[in-house]
Amino acid sequence: MSTRARIGVQLESGEIESVYVWRDGMPDYLGAILCSHYNTLAKATELVERGNIIDIETTVEKCNFEQGSAATDTAPKTHMTFAAYRREREADIDYKYIFRNGAWEYREIGA
């Protein structure tokens, strides 16, 4: 079974853009890659702008992004505030990550 996650980036406007991550959402994998390879606002934004992620890798070019279809919505989701991002519940999400104030944070859902 896959560990699902959502990663978001807080924009200068205060809004959060976020995407769904299909696999390997644990902090020791996804969190480590985000902190090591997507540790600036520009890099984090570039990653999220591409849409939902199936497999995250050390560069955007190597990542496997979900392909859009009529049945799926793969584009980033917009949350008006940080509080709205934190409050939103998705049944299959185990972790939520956010890049804000120059660093990544995460929260285990249900903890």
Mean pLDDT for the stretch of residues 42-68: 93
Closest by alpha carbon to 100, among 15, 5, 6, 4? 15
Measured in whole angstroms, how far is the alpha carbon of residue 38 from the centre of its chain? 11
Side chain identity at residue 30, one-letter code: L
78 pLDDT tier (thresholds 50, 70, 90) = very high
pLDDT tier at 7, thresholds 50, 70, 90: very high
26 three-class SS = coil
Q: Is the pLDDT of residue 1 over 80?
A: no
Chain segment 79-101, per-residue pLDDT in tens: 999 999 988 888 889 999 999 99
**Mean pLDDT throughout 38-64?**
95
